[in-house]
Amino acid sequence: MLAQQFCPIPADEPERIARVRSFDILDTPPEIEFDALTRVVAHAFNAPIAVIALMDSDRLWFKSRLGLDVPQLDRKIAFCAHAIMTPDAPLVIEDLAGDARFIINPLVSRAPHLRFYAGAPLVDDGGHALGTIAVIDTRPRPFNDAQRKILMDCSRLVMTALQGRRRALLLERLAMTDYLTGLPNRVQFDQAMATEMQHAQRSGKPFSLLCLDLDGFKGVNDQFGHAAGDEVLCEVARRLQRQLRLGDTAARLGGDEFAIVTRDADSAAVTTLAHRLTESVRLPIELSGGNRVTLGISVGIASYTSDVTSAQLLLARADKALYSIKNQLR
């Protein structure tokens, strides 16, 4: 009995899981292109159940499903766990109750008493089977070679949709990410500010904005060149990120100017954060050429209050606080 319930694991499992998760699709809402493909395949094969599914480490998660109520299945009882073992061919079980691998499967032995399964693997360009597109029935049925080829064609259409979705996400991220440091750029910063403004106006809970500007950065460029300056900016970005709390957003606004949006922090907590940021940045930075540089950072803080009517006003206040501090250093 245990042997019959065995869940096979592909030889490329670590790489396969990494590829599944690289699509950033698990636990996302329904999307029209996948639901359309599910309807098409159900109609093409006159099947009461059709799914597009991704195989995670311990579950089969349905991106799209028709005729099935559950959003996911335990991997141990998922027929698709067997289908992904043969990336170049569909798995077809014309009578599940007559197959020793599935006869005691609860989906077969109990309601909904499934009897037929045909699943084609979703295979990426590296040959990894990410999941399946499958049709299922409560009655045994034949499935000929032509139908198998059509189901494999449908799996390629699903992969095309998956890859297109991932390219769109990548382009969106690139448009909102600073090319050098990997931090959110001004576009994403403005969105974060708008979100926090709306949250504060609804809830009455304040948030704070920290504007940061490096002290002595021009000297690094002048003495060691702009490549060294880029190294410094990347290292500063890493140090800023390490000091953030969950939910805080750090962005590069341009040049050596950064900003941090922080929610649900009182004035003492924000002051403590500013101190941690300052101390972190002040530590010497080792350049790839063997030189060491030491910089300072000035921090201007502004917190949301009822008289702040816009994100631009709060940014202006933080900027004013920042340059007041920088003027004191001159």
* The two structure tokens encoding residue 8: 């096979």
Query: Annotated catalytic, 248?
Result: no
Instruction: Return d(Cα 97, Cα 173) in angstroms, integer.
Output: 47
* The two structure tokens encoding residue 292: 């060491």
Which residue has 């900027």 as its token pair? 319
Decide: helix, strand or coil at residue 141: coil
Instruction: Return d(Cα 265, Cα 205) in angstroms, integer.
Output: 9
Q: Where do runs of H (alpha helix) occur along 244-303?
A: 267-282
Active-site option among 24, 256, 264, 266: 256
Sheet holding 207-215, edge to edge: 249-254, 257-263, 207-215, 296-303
Instruction: Return d(Cα 245, Cα 31) in angstroms, integer.
Output: 32
Identity of residue 98: G
Q: Which residues are catalytic?
A: 256
